Amino acid sequence: MEKGKRHISLKDLALEIGVSISTVSRALNNHPDISPEVTRRIQKLAAEMNYTPNPLAMGLLKQATRMIGVIVPDLVTHFYSSIISGIEEVAEEKGYYILIASSNETLKKEIISVRNMLNTRVEGLIVCLSQETKSYEHFDRLIKNDIPLVFFDRVCRINEVPSVVVNNVDAAKKITRHFYKNGFRRIGYIAGPNHLNISQERAEGYLSGLQSCGIEFNPELLVQCNMSSKDATRATGRLLDLPQKPDAIFGINDTVAFAAMKEIKRRGLRIPEDIALVGFTDEFHATVVDPPLTSITHPTFEIGQAAARLFFNQIENPESEPEQVVLNTKLVVRKSSVK
Amino acid sequence: MEKGKRHISLKDLALEIGVSISTVSRALNNHPDISPEVTRRIQKLAAEMNYTPNPLAMGLLKQATRMIGVIVPDLVTHFYSSIISGIEEVAEEKGYYILIASSNETLKKEIISVRNMLNTRVEGLIVCLSQETKSYEHFDRLIKNDIPLVFFDRVCRINEVPSVVVNNVDAAKKITRHFYKNGFRRIGYIAGPNHLNISQERAEGYLSGLQSCGIEFNPELLVQCNMSSKDATRATGRLLDLPQKPDAIFGINDTVAFAAMKEIKRRGLRIPEDIALVGFTDEFHATVVDPPLTSITHPTFEIGQAAARLFFNQIENPESEPEQVVLNTKLVVRKSSVK
DNA sequence: TTGAAAGCGCTAACAG
DNA sequence: CTGTTAGCGCTTTCAA
């Protein structure tokens, strides 16, 4: 093999053995036409020379790259990286690679990422919408051309696009009722932007939970933030500044819950004695903080697996109807919400 | 565009305008030979039809995929995901994509990942060794064929392969001296596997720190673990079971530090009153736990950026000597180590 | 100023 | 049983 040549090709093998390229190709694919003897020799040489088919050539030929584009709001949150692990596991089984991009929670970067990934010829996308995303035209091209697409967690167009979500309404309701059962009555909720399904659905569960406990909804106790740490801290502040403070708070996600925890502590209030706190988080973070955080824990790895399965379902059954997978969350009670 | 056709090609444009494929190619590359008029028409049509060059075809032709393989011990630790963000940022500037794989801290998966990524024709690899890795033959093929390779954090073959590390010796020494200055004398260290440079170097800094404070090294106070949560908990237990417990402990990384923190608390000991604790962690986690953890914080994003830059340096200057970038860490003092 | 042809690595239809 | 040819999308000589 000449210097600088990093991968060998069918041609190299053919030259070496003195047969044609197609014979080599067939031999390696165990085509029955080729004589056992020749097949054996070719396969032996291929193994010795570390031959592996060039995916670029295969991709060109078959118009299939075996790559999935994954776009998440950020890479550094455990929630997303754990979901990505789940996607990767299923993708690997199928011999697919994943290409990861982060929207940094901005619509602009999300649009660019969608375009870049399509340009790279991924076979489709698995996406969690950015916090800013409330128009969805950048997915039109995928939908129109039947390019596989799956949304998870923050979703849209659920009638056209398969998606994976958790039972947000039910989960928020469970939190509210848990507070009630533990004697809390002024229950606050720190929501995210209104256009996100997760924010809406959790608000809905919150309201329904209050109602089922016979508590009247007090609009002062529902505050919004953009889900950044900073804004979540401010939102927490607004709750704590109320003439009648809440005695319990739940936050829409990890970032919000931790920001709330820090702010509550910073003001010298105790959790759960002065204010109970519950989050929507993942297993890991909930146990590392102090006090351990009662929370709805997301089955993150499973979310990723389910999203990948929906993706391959589209690859394998292009005509199938968009399906929505709803995964169950668990309310895990820890110290932060029980006096 | 016929149905099912997801991307248009030079051929489509050529057919549409009625010129040859090569003319289209030249026009799009602003080749001076093509008449301005034709060039204009072609570029206009290309824009309208959303033409983007097929990277598979380009890759085949140029033998360059513009993809970098990144292999990390795991995906879900903030330390790694943050480093990946840094790599991604630089890669994006250069128009490269990154392909991510996790070794799950096993040598077996690391070897498979290296092979898979090469098979995918990445242009090179950026790697953090798995915890198990103490033989390095699986990188031979890269080194021999001058395929760009960069190690970070856990490194090997530093004379042959460019790498990015932090000033481990100095950092561990700083921790030890910090303990001393704050009145702690029985200082324990929970190390990782001996073959890892980070473990060795931090042990070296620990010893040198002790010496510079005039404390005699007590082998009982240096325990090892495999850096899993479970084993770190056991290692902490061994320190706490000593007839003469340490009054201060530092752990080799995030996982170890948090496991130690949980175990110390579980036994009813207070931090820092009974035992002071310092970790090697990242900014985020150190502040979310309670008490806030004094720690050497890694410049994770910068580690990623530096690794990517070393990578591109190899692409652009194949003959350059392997360089080692050493980044500085900071000791950030928080409650966990000050009585 | 433009077109034709070759070649990157591979498979598959068609010929022997 | 094996070789030849064409073509996936693109760039780049070489010819005109």
**Protein CA A36 to sugar C1' D6 (Å):** 28
Check residue B1 and give its pLDDT. Answer: 37
The residue among A1, A2, A6 with the most chain B CBs within 10 A of its CB, best to mutate, is A6
The reply to whether A266 has its C-beta less than 7 Å from any atom of strand C is no
Same domain, B77 and B158: yes
Would residue A266 count as lying in a domain? yes
Token reading at B231: 């084993």
Q: Which of B142, B327, B52 is nearest to A115 (CA)?
A: B52
Q: How many CB atoms lie within 10 A of CB A182?
A: 15
Which residues of chain B from 92 to 111 reach within 8 Å of chain A, CB to CB? 97-102
Same domain, B223 and B287: yes
Check residue B2 and give its pLDDT. Answer: 41
Same domain, B292 and B227: yes
> B119-137: per-residue pLDDT in tens?
999 999 999 999 999 999 9
Same domain, A109 and A133: yes
Check residue A51 and give its pLDDT. Answer: 92
Check residue A1 and give its pLDDT. Answer: 38
Same domain, A82 and A204: no
* Mean pLDDT, rounded, of chain A: 92
Output the pTM of the full model: 0.91
The reply to whether A76 touches chain B by the CB within 8 Å rule is yes
Check residue A299 and give its pLDDT. Answer: 92
Same domain, A178 and A267: yes
Same domain, B231 and B282: yes
CATH classification of the domain holding A33: 1.10.260
**Protein CA B23 to sugar C1' D13 (Å):** 14
Q: Which residues pair with B102 in a beta bridge?
A: B72
The residue among B61, B62, B68, B75 with the most chain A CBs within 10 A of its CB, best to mutate, is B75
Residues lower than pLDDT 50 in chain A: 1-3
Which ranges of chain B does DSSP label H, i.e. alpha helix?
Answer: 10-17, 21-28, 36-48, 55-62, 78-93, 107-119, 140-144, 168-181, 197-212, 229-240, 254-266, 283-288, 300-316
* A225: containing domain: 168-298+331-337
The residue among B98, B288, B336 with the most chain A CBs within 10 A of its CB, best to mutate, is B288
Chain B residues 53-82 within 7 Å (CB) of strand D: 53-54, 56-58, 60-61
Q: Kindly report the backbone phi and psi dihedral angles of residue B296, in degrees, each rounded to the nearest multiple of 5, phi listed first.
A: -80, 115
The reply to whether B260 has its C-beta less than 7 Å from any atom of strand C is no
Q: Are A232 and A225 in contact (CB under 8 A)?
A: yes
Q: Total domain count for chain B? A: 3
Q: How many CB atoms lie within 10 A of CB A219?
A: 6
- Closest nucleotide over all strands to B54 (CA to C1'): D9
SS3 breakdown of chain B: % helix, strand, coil, rounded to 5? 45, 15, 40
Q: Are A86 and A300 in contact (CB under 8 A)?
A: yes
B30 exposed, middle or buried (CB, 10 Å; 0-12, 13-18, 19+)?
A: exposed
Check residue B4 and give its pLDDT. Answer: 54
What's the CA gap between B248 and A82, in Å, rounded? 33
The reply to whether B85 touches chain A by the CB within 8 Å rule is yes
Token reading at A284: 């890991």
For tokens 């290409």, the residue is A99
The reply to whether A284 touches chain B by the CB within 8 Å rule is yes
The reply to whether B293 touches chain A by the CB within 8 Å rule is no
B248 exposed, middle or buried (CB, 10 Å; 0-12, 13-18, 19+)?
A: buried
Q: Kindly report the backbone phi and psi dihedral angles of residue B27, in degrees, each rounded to the nearest multiple of 5, phi listed first.
A: -60, -45
Would residue A84 count as lying in a domain? yes
The reply to whether B285 has its C-beta less than 7 Å from any atom of strand C is no
Same domain, B175 and B261: yes
Q: Which residues in chain A have Cβ-Cβ distances shorter than 8 Å to B102?
A: 85, 88
Helices (H) and strands (E) in chain A, counts: 13, 12
Q: Which of B64, B259, B129, B93 is nearest to A7 (CA)?
A: B64
Check residue A4 and give its pLDDT. Answer: 54
Chain A residues 290-319 within 7 Å (CB) of strand C: none
Q: Percent of chain A at pLDDT above 70?
A: 98
The reply to whether B29 has its C-beta less than 7 Å from any atom of strand C is no
CATH classification of the domain holding A150: 3.40.50.2300
The residues, any chain, with a CB within 8 Å of residue B49's CB and separated by 6 or more, are B1, B8, B12, B13, B16
Count Cβ–Cβ pairs < 8 Å, chain A vs chain B.
96
Cα distance from A214 to chain B (closest Cα, Å)? 35
| CB-CB under 8 Å, B102 with A99 | no
> B295-328: per-residue pLDDT in tens?
999 999 999 999 999 999 999 998 899 999 999 9
Check residue A36 and give its pLDDT. Answer: 86
Would residue B1 count as lying in a domain? no
DSSP state of B35: -
For tokens 């795991």, the residue is B74
The reply to whether B287 touches chain A by the CB within 8 Å rule is yes
Same domain, A137 and A110: yes
What's the CA gap between B69 and B71, in Å, rounded? 7
Per-residue model confidence as pLDDT tens for chain B (339 residues): 344 568 999 999 998 889 989 999 999 998 888 888 889 999 999 999 989 999 999 999 988 899 999 999 998 888 999 999 999 999 999 999 999 999 999 999 999 999 999 999 999 999 999 999 999 999 998 998 889 999 999 999 999 999 999 999 999 999 999 999 999 999 999 999 999 999 999 999 999 999 999 999 999 999 999 999 899 999 999 999 999 999 999 999 888 998 999 999 999 999 999 999 999 887 777 887 888 899 999 999 999 999 999 999 999 998 899 999 999 999 999 999 998
